[in-house]
């Protein structure tokens, strides 16, 4: 090691940031080079002065600080609730108006045209979050913690599943809403591939543009959109949809796991709505 | 008496247990205040920063991933907030003469010097160094402060700031060189 290299590594050397081998190499150079040794002593003296200056940085927050913060965070939460309540009231009014308009349109023009939008919406949501490192609002690999949080937030039982035995890691969950129905997002990762699982309560959900497939007594709806695969199952009071850039066969067990966790594991009574086959 | 771990306090806070959140604040307030003070150089700004930081932590607590150490996540959120705040126009200027009386008192209560002249010399030097630190660009000041104030390793700082270790090492070296030159300039 020459003088230039030694001087560049003097700081990490003095701060103990080097490996034992690197420490030894620099030590040997310092032993044989008077200039570098003087430079080391000078830098060490300055480091001591800097550390001493930081030693006097005060810690003078009083004991009531934590109480003040808690009181302020409560206020913040209450304000948020009021705003949320106002928005909810406005949204409810809007939903009622839309429902009236929609029912009038339905009577005039037959089946609802919104089904395709729903699939497209889920795919758009998937694409929006797929590149984000972890879009979960409740980031946790613990399925119970995520399930509890989402169930509490959305008002229906959401089931995150531990898929670690399949090499799939749970990243967390996110709450949302789809046409007024509470919607849970669960984010998983298999290697670098994101898997998004949606659970929608009470979804009267026409899964248009999808093929149907019977698998272990479950009627599944399967669609392929470019590299992206979508597998859905309607069971009991919920619809489970899984989207990922994986093969259909890889997604089917994930859908079944989430459907089985919904309290219908033994004889799932599937509630399938009319399906339009992809031509 | 057993100490409740951070993750449990976070989980309880998320269920609305304000006592648990108060315990978290109490646990981290000293470290956070020292960091904020070292970066701003005065009590008012440091207190404001701490307050904003804890309120922000409360809002983003549901995003905490218990797979990671809470202290690392906490410092990451806090330093990101500090970076944002420090980029805004400073409310109070920091210079040798306006390092506030809080630091003055802290220096006085520090390890007693052998004689008054030595004590005055130490006091001036600490003020000068902290003022110079406050003049460092934010991207150098934060890793520099985390290293010398909290004695964190380059690896820990890299995790907190989400930067490569090499970048952290370079920034701390550049910061140290600037402060060293400032000390030497005053010595002459």
ipTM for the complex? Answer: 0.79
Neighbours of B18 (CB within 10 A): 17
Asked if residue A123 is part of any domain, the answer here is yes
Asked if residue A275 is part of any domain, the answer here is no
- The answer on A228 and A134 residing in a single domain is yes
- The answer on A255 and A117 residing in a single domain is yes
Give the domain CATH number at B37: 1.10.1740.10
pLDDT value of position B171:
93
pLDDT value of position A279:
36
pLDDT value of position B150:
82
- The answer on A75 and A97 residing in a single domain is yes
pLDDT of B155 strictly over 60: yes
- Mean pLDDT calculated for residue range B137-150: 90
- The answer on A217 and A127 residing in a single domain is yes
> A152 to chain B nearest CA, in Å?
10
Domain that holds residue A14: 3-55
- Contact between A254 and A243 under an 8 Å Cβ cutoff? The reply is no
- The answer on A146 and A239 residing in a single domain is yes
**Nearest residue, CB atoms, A56 vs list B21, B65, B107:** B107
| Tokens coding B94 | 């920091």
Number of domains, chain A: 3
- The answer on A244 and A162 residing in a single domain is yes
Residue A235 phi/psi, 5° resolution? -145, 130
DSSP states of A53-80 as a string? HHHT------TTHHHHHHHHHHHHHHHH
pLDDT value of position B176:
95
Domain that holds residue B46: 1-92
Query: What are the pLDDT digits (tens) for B9-56?
Result: 999 988 888 889 989 998 888 888 888 888 887 777 888 888 889 988
Residue A266 phi/psi, 5° resolution? -75, -60
Angle CA(A265)–CA(A137)–CA(A223) in degrees, nearest 5?
50
Asked if residue B158 is part of any domain, the answer here is no
pLDDT of B140 strictly over 50: yes
Neighbours of A126 (CB within 10 A): 22
Q: With an 8 Å Cβ cutoff, is B30 touching chain A?
A: yes
- Provide, as residue numbers in chain B, all residues whose Cβ is less than 8 Å from the Cβ of A12: 154, 169, 173
Residue with tokens 């898997």: A195
- Provide, as residue numbers in chain B, all residues whose Cβ is less than 8 Å from the Cβ of A58: 34, 37, 43, 102-103, 105-106
Asked if residue B140 is part of any domain, the answer here is no
- The answer on A140 and A24 residing in a single domain is no
Asked if residue A16 is part of any domain, the answer here is yes
pLDDT value of position A238:
75
114-133 in chain B: CB under 8 A from chain A: 122, 125-126, 129-130, 133
Residue A66 and residue B26: Cβ atoms within 8 Å? Answer: yes
Query: What are the pLDDT digits (tens) for B47-100?
Result: 888 888 998 898 899 888 888 889 889 988 988 888 887 776 554 444 444 445
- The answer on A123 and A95 residing in a single domain is no
pLDDT of B1 strictly over 50: no
Residue B169 phi/psi, 5° resolution? -60, -45
- Residues B163, B153: Cα–Cα separation, whole Å: 13
**How many C-alpha atoms does B85 have within 13 Å on its Cβ side?**
22
pLDDT value of position A116:
38
Neighbours of B124 (CB within 10 A): 13
Residues of chain A with a CB closer than 8 angstroms to some CB in chain B? 11-12, 15, 17, 43, 46-47, 49-61, 65-70, 72-74, 76, 134, 136-142, 145, 149, 172
pLDDT value of position A102:
63
Asked if residue A271 is part of any domain, the answer here is no
Per-residue pLDDT of chain A (279 residues; tens, 9 = 90+): 788 888 889 999 999 998 899 999 999 999 999 999 999 999 999 999 898 888 877 776 766 777 778 887 777 666 666 666 667 767 777 777 677 666 555 544 433 333 333 676 777 778 777 777 777 888 888 899 899 988 888 888 888 999 988 889 999 998 877 666 678 899 999 888 899 998 887 655 555 567 877 777 677 888 888 888 988 887 776 788 899 998 888 888 898 888 875 543 333 333 334 344 443
Nearest CA in chain A to B151: A51
pLDDT value of position A268:
36
- Residues B36, B149: Cα–Cα separation, whole Å: 11
pLDDT value of position A114:
35
Number of domains, chain B: 1
pLDDT value of position A261:
59
Asked if residue B187 is part of any domain, the answer here is no
Q: Give the H/E segment covering residue B177.
A: helix B165-187
């Amino acid at each position: 090691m020459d003088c230039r290299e030694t001087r560049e590594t003097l700081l990490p050397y003095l701060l103990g940031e080097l490996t034992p081998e690197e420490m030894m190499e620099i030590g040997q150079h310092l032993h044989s080079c008077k200039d570098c040794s003087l430079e080391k002593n000078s830098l060490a003296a300055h480091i001591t002065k800097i550390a001493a200056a930081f030693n006097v940085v005060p810690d003078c927050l009083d004991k009531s600080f934590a109480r003040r913060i808690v009181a302020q965070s409560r206020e913040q939460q209450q304000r948020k609730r009021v705003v949320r309540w106002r928005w909810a009231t406005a949204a409810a009014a809007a939903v009622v108006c839309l429902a009236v308009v929609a029912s009038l349109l339905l009577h005039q023009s037959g089946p609802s045209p919104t089904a395709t939008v729903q699939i497209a919406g889920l795919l758009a949501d998937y694409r929006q979050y797929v590149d984000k490192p972890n879009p979960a609002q409740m980031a946790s690999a613990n399925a119970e913690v995520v399930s509890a949080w989402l169930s509490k937030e959305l008002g229906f039982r959401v089931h995150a599943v531990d898929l670690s035995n399949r090499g799939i890691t749970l990243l967390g969950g996110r709450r949302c809403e789809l046409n007024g129905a509470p919607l849970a997002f669960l984010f998983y990762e298999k290697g670098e591939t994101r898997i998004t699982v949606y659970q929608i309560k009470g979804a009267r959900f026409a899964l248009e543009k999808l093929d149907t497939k019977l698998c272990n007594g479950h009627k599944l709806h399967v669609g392929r959109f470019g590299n992206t695969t979508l597998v859905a199952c309607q069971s009991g009071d919920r619809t489970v949809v899984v989207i990922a850039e994986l093969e259909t066969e890889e997604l089917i067990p994930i859908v079944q796991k989430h459907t089985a966790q919904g309290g219908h594991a033994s004889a799932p009574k599937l509630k399938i709505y009319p399906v339009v086959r992809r031509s | 008496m057993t100490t409740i771990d951070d993750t449990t306090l976070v989980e309880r806070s998320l269920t609305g247990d304000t006592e648990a959140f108060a315990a978290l604040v109490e646990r981290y307030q000293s470290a956070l205040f020292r960091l904020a003070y070292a970066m701003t150089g005065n009590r008012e700004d440091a207190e404001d920063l701490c307050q904003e930081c804890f309120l922000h932590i409360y809002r983003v607590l549901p995003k905490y991933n218990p797979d990671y150490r809470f202290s690392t996540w906490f410092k990451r959120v806090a330093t990101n907030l500090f970076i944002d705040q420090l980029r805004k126009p400073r409310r109070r200027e920091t210079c040798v003469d306006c390092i506030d009386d809080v630091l003055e008192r802290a220096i006085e209560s520090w390890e007693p010097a052998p004689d008054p002249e030595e004590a005055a010399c130490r006091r001036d030097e600490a003020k000068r160094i902290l003022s110079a630190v406050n003049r460092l660009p934010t991207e150098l000041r934060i890793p520099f402060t985390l290293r010398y104030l909290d004695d964190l390793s380059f690896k820990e700082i890299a995790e907190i700031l989400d930067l490569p270790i090499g970048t952290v090492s370079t920034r701390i070296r550049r910061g140290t060189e600037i402060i060293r030159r400032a000390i030497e300039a005053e010595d002459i």
